[in-house]
Amino acid sequence: MDDERKISLGEGAGGELMQRMLKELVIPLVRNADIEYDPAALPPGLLDDSAAVDDVAFTIDGHTVWPLEFPGGDIGSLSVYGTVNDLWVVGAIPRALALSMIIEEGLDRSLLRRISSSIGSASSSAGVVIATGDTKVVERGGVKGMIISTAGIGLKHPLLDGNHRRASFLRSGSGAEAPVSHWLRDDGVRKGDVIILSGSVGDHGISLLSFREGYGFDTELVSDLAPLGEVIEAALRVGGVIAAKDLTRGGLANGLNEWCGKSGYSIHVSGPDIPVKPAVASACDMLGLDPYEIGNEGKVILAVAPGSEEEILEAVKRTSTGKDAAIIGHVGARGRNVILETEVGGKRIMDPPYGDPVPRIC
């Protein structure tokens, strides 16, 4: 039986339990109200993927993936792409990363060397410098192999201005009631916005789970780990992007529910339009998992102003990681739920994941 006085595993899973725990035990306590905030356009209180401080976007992620190397990546590339993606999705250009490595005594030197090289290549390909770092080695059993926490800073993307102008123009035509925020904000989605998903969901979590547990579902399935810059830039260049969110822990269900919860608008998505690879679908069937709740590391949802969706979709499809992009739904009337239209024409509420079916995948 769970001891209610103790933190449970599910409270770290990025789902509803974690939101509750953070709201009870962390966020109101660490926030210091006596410091005056700039009325910045992306304030900490939003709990967006990054916050902006004086126009510098700032984010951090702790990476506890196990095993440290997996099909399609390792903790090094994960800690780079995981963090740059959190900057891209608010509309920032990643500029520099800071790495905190906590290493377990006894880690293979050759493994550390491979992970460092992977950090080097990933940061080159993402266009960021590793500006600073810190290393601790702890006794055996103090951590499992290695943990990397990565912070990133980024600057407002120059394409945001044009994007914002087009989004405002399209919004005013559609009669949406709210002004468009300059940064890409979770709470910015409004009725009529169209939702584009950049590719198939569940690849990262299922490939990692299968590799770790030796299920051998499909040896072809690898993590989708990738930087999202190309997709986001393609969309911003067209203009009209309202919000973007990378689908990590908690997957598509978590991302859509965060938009819904923060904006106060319902979201409608169509199951048959959501790309899921057959290997992922059959693994989920066998394990009783929901592919929409599985974490990804190279997929993003875009909410775009009505009228821009076709052009943005085409632009995203021309990128290397967005070939399978699809329009999966739209933002509906004020409401508190994400509604999923199923293959057979039924409807169900797509709840945010409660805990996490697959721990240690990021």
Taking the complex as a whole, the smallest distance from the CB of residue 9 to a copy of itself amounts, in Å, to 5
Taking the complex as a whole, the smallest distance from the CB of residue 221 to a copy of itself amounts, in Å, to 24
Cβ nearer to a copy of itself, comparing 64 with 266: 64
Taking the complex as a whole, the smallest distance from the CB of residue 67 to a copy of itself amounts, in Å, to 13
Cβ nearer to a copy of itself, comparing 34 with 343: 34
Cβ nearer to a copy of itself, comparing 139 with 177: 139
Cα distances (angstroms) measured from residue 176 to each of 1, 189, 242, 260, 278: 49, 10, 12, 16, 38
**What is the distance between the alpha carbons of residues 178 and 196, in angstroms, rounded to a whole number?**
21
The two structure tokens encoding residue 2: 């769970």
| DSSP assignment string, 185-200 | -GGG--TT-EEEE-S-
Contacts with 325 (C-beta within 8 Å, 6 or more apart), sequence order? 196, 197, 198, 199, 231, 313, 316, 317
Closest residue by Cα to residue 337 from 275, 263, 229, 245: 263
Taking the complex as a whole, the smallest distance from the CB of residue 128 to a copy of itself amounts, in Å, to 7
**What is the distance between the alpha carbons of residues 225 and 75, in angstroms, rounded to a whole number?**
11
CB 193 within 8 A of CB 187: no
Taking the complex as a whole, the smallest distance from the CB of residue 103 to a copy of itself amounts, in Å, to 6
Cα distances (angstroms) measured from residue 200 to each of 226, 283, 320: 13, 14, 14
Closest residue by Cα to residue 264 from 329, 346, 175, 177: 177
Cβ nearer to a copy of itself, comparing 1 with 35: 35
Taking the complex as a whole, the smallest distance from the CB of residue 307 to a copy of itself amounts, in Å, to 33
Strands (E), 212-306: 241-246, 265-270, 300-304
Cβ nearer to a copy of itself, comparing 79 with 200: 79
Cβ nearer to a copy of itself, comparing 130 with 222: 130
Taking the complex as a whole, the smallest distance from the CB of residue 142 to a copy of itself amounts, in Å, to 5
Cβ nearer to a copy of itself, comparing 32 with 320: 32
| Torsion 307-301-90-35 (CA) sign | positive
Closest residue by Cα to residue 59 from 339, 207, 248, 194: 248
Sheet with 56-63, strands from edge to edge, namely 51-53, 56-63, 146-156, 92-104, 129-138
Cβ nearer to a copy of itself, comparing 112 with 222: 112
- Residue in the structure block whose two tokens are 């067209």: 238
Taking the complex as a whole, the smallest distance from the CB of residue 228 to a copy of itself amounts, in Å, to 17
